[in-house]
A and B are shown apart, each in its own frame.
Chain A
Amino acid sequence: MERNKQSVNIARIRCKTSYSLTKGSSFARIEAGEDIVTKVNTATNETERQQIIKETGLILNRFARKKQHLIPILQGVQGKLGYLPREAMIEIADYLNMAAVDVYGVVTFYNQFRLNPPGKHSIRVCLGTACHMKGGYITLDAWKRRLKINSGETTPDREFDLDIVACVGCCTKAPVTVVDGNPEGQVEPTRVDGILLGFGHEYGTKDKEKSESN
């Protein structure tokens, strides 16, 4: 009976994964029932805001007010802050006398730019060929559900950030998830909960128990 239940679960996840592939990135939030209001992160307090403005200003001083410097500026700011917060993008847009939406367009176009701050722990799910065959996308889905974020995003408490990698070179251990730089092998959805518990977090696992006991 238990096994039956599990296989049904996997089928459900699979069907959702294919859905998310065609539907684009808003999948996890749609599932969580949240409306997407903004994709830009902002400073959580005044000191952080001042810090962002100061660091951005230091980078901007090194460049002339020319539009062709936009990408080097963005790279510099991200190098300092780890991501591109709202305040920094608006400062850069004002400095170069362009619309903020154009800066946002460049940031979302290139994969190298992050809109989310790096979390305390980094989660990198491998979706290389071997990991894909071993159900890496199911693992990714488990991470998304547990952390309630999409790939490329950070949990609101800035504990974890989730991303996809192509191959980390240890395919015998597929499906692999790199946690804080250490490749973990055979990471199936249950192992996801185990890793999170190891960090002392129980994201979503309690909800699951609740729904199962009902």
Chain B
Amino acid sequence: MKMVNLTIDGKKIKARPGEKLLWAALDNGIYIPNLCAIKDKPEPNAACRLCWVEIEGNKEPVTACTIEVADGMVVNIRGQNALALARAGFELLMASHALDCAHCSANGVCELQKIAKTLKCSLKPRRLRLLLRDLSVDDSNPLFTLDPNKCVLCGRCVWECRKSKEKAVLGFAHRGFDRVLTTFGDEPIEERCMNCSTCVEVCPTGALAFKEGKKSADIA
């Protein structure tokens, strides 16, 4: 197959034609902030508004997850306009995130921390007032807890949940600011969900977290 040559941040890489720019960069070890991107999903969600990049010749920044690679493409992932958009998107996310890194199980591996570091901005929104939802934490499942206050609605767990043969348990419900990761009827998960823990593994934050002492190997 003929490969496409492009330059990202001065680094020359090769990518398969038709591949999205975000995956071409990530596969070559170039990190572009992203949350909602799912590699095996045919159409990108393009919902998190974090993967902004600037392409030489384009006036406006574009989202890397929706742009296909092209031969001779020159990409700048640290452009001021792209960073401004990504920071705005990140601040909007963090304005309704129950920030408590010191007591959060994801501390250190949290993608929000990684994104803040990459975008060189604070985890606390500077320009926006905090607007928290104070939803109840679901700890009814013996293996993991679901804390919707830390959820960024990326949809990774929902996608994974639909891949299993069993009927999916997790999904999104309600609308607008009330949109929440939940189950049918907002009921506790309890023991309906014991077969896999891929949702916990793919969660970029501490919204889905193993209970203390539990890990994926504990699943029968």
> Which residues in A have some Cβ–Cβ distance to B below 8 Å?
22-25, 35-40, 86, 89, 99-105, 108-109
Q: Which residues of A contact B172 (CB under 8 A)?
A: 105
Whether A104 lies near B133 (C-beta < 8 A) is no
Q: Which secondary structure dominates chain A's binding surface?
A: helix
Whether B136 lies near A36 (C-beta < 8 A) is yes
Known contacts A22-B131, A36-B136; decide if A101 and B175 are in contact (CB<8 Å).
Answer: no
Q: Which residues of A contact B187 (CB under 8 A)?
A: 37-38, 40
Instruction: Choose from B131, B133, B136, B184 the contact partner of A101 (Cβ within 8 Å).
Output: B184
Asked if B89 is at the interface of the complex by the 8 Å CB criterion, the answer is: no
Question: Whole-angstrom distance between the alpha carbons of A39 and B178 in the complex?
Answer: 14
Whether A99 lies near B168 (C-beta < 8 A) is yes
Whether B185 lies near A38 (C-beta < 8 A) is yes
Q: Which secondary structure dominates chain B's binding surface?
A: loop
A to B contact number (C-beta, < 8 Å): 55
B134: nearest residue on chain A (CB-CB)? A23
> Which residues in B have some Cβ–Cβ distance to A below 8 Å?
131, 133-134, 136, 161-162, 167-175, 177-178, 182-188
Instruction: Choose from A37, A89, A99, A109 the contact partner of B175 (Cβ within 8 Å).
Output: A109
Question: Whole-angstrom distance between the alpha carbons of A186 and B134 in the complex?
Answer: 35
Instruction: Choose from B167, B169, B173 the contact partner of A105 (Cβ within 8 Å).
Output: B173
In the complex, besides A99-B167, A99-B184, 4 extra interface pairs with C-beta distance below 8 angstroms are A23-B134, A101-B169, A101-B183, A102-B168
Question: Whole-angstrom distance between the alpha carbons of A24 and B175 in the complex?
Answer: 11
A37 nearest CB across to chain B (Å): 7
The 9 residue pairs across chains A and B that have the minimum distance between CB atoms: A101-B171, A40-B185, A99-B168, A38-B185, A100-B184, A108-B173, A101-B184, A105-B173, A108-B174
Whether B162 lies near A24 (C-beta < 8 A) is no
Whether B171 lies near A105 (C-beta < 8 A) is yes
Question: Whole-angstrom distance between the alpha carbons of A104 and B172 in the complex?
Answer: 9
Q: For A36, A89, A102, which residue has the most chain B Cβ atoms within 10 angstroms?
A: A102
Whether B178 lies near A99 (C-beta < 8 A) is no
Whether B178 lies near A38 (C-beta < 8 A) is no
